[in-house]
Amino acid sequence: MIAYRLLTLEDSSAFCHKVTEALSKGWTLYGSPTYAFDAEKGVMMCAQAVTKEVAGDYDPDKKLGQL
């Protein structure tokens, strides 16, 4: 099964660390990062999709960050 996650956070080094941590745990980048301005918060937001091949079937109760 291929698991999918969309990592999001404000545009900061914390976002880069979040993506780097996912990559270190075997996740693979999927597509390009996306940026959007959150007018309510007044900040730029980042998003990066990642995928990972995992054994077993889909389980909606499983936290994707634990795969």
Least confident piece of the model among 5-9, 12-16, 57-61: 57-61
Tens-place pLDDT, residues 14-42: 999 999 999 999 999 999 999 999 999 99
What is the identity of the amino acid at 65?
G
Q: How far apart are CA 5 and CA 51, in angstroms?
A: 6
Q: So where are the chain's domains?
A: 2-56
Give Cα separations from 11 to 32, 36, 63 (angstroms). 15, 9, 24
Q: Under a CB-based contact definition with an 8 Å cutoff, are residues 36 and 48 in contact?
A: no
